[in-house]
Amino acid sequence: MAADDRPQITLITPPTFDPETFADRIGRILDGAEIACLRLSLGTRDEDILMRAADAAREVAHARDVAVVIDNHLILAERLGLDGVHLTDGARHVRKARKDLGADAIVGAFCGASKHDGMTAGEAGADYVSFGPIGETRLGDGSRAPFELFEWWSEVIEVPIIAEGALTAELVARFGPVTDFFAVGEEIWSADDPLAALKALLAPLG
Question: What pLDDT, in 10s, does the model give residues 167-196?
Answer: 999 999 999 999 999 999 999 999 999 999
Q: Which residues pair with 39 in a beta bridge?
A: 12, 69
Report if residue 117 sits inside a domain. yes
pLDDT-derived band at 4 (thresholds 50, 70, 90) equals low
CATH number of the domain enclosing 86: 3.20.20.70
Establish if 3 belongs to a structural domain. no
Is 2 within a domain? no
Residue 1 placed within a domain:
no
Quick check: is 87 in a domain?
Answer: yes
Q: Is residue 164 part of a domain?
A: yes
- Average pLDDT of the residues in 77-96: 96
How far apart are alpha carbons 36 and 174 in whole angstroms? 21
- Full-model pTM: 0.95
Domain holding 143, by residue range, is 8-205
CA atoms within 13 A on the CB side of 158: 2
Query: Residue 80 falls within a domain, yes or no?
Result: yes
Work out the pLDDT band at 3, boundaries 50, 70, 90.
low
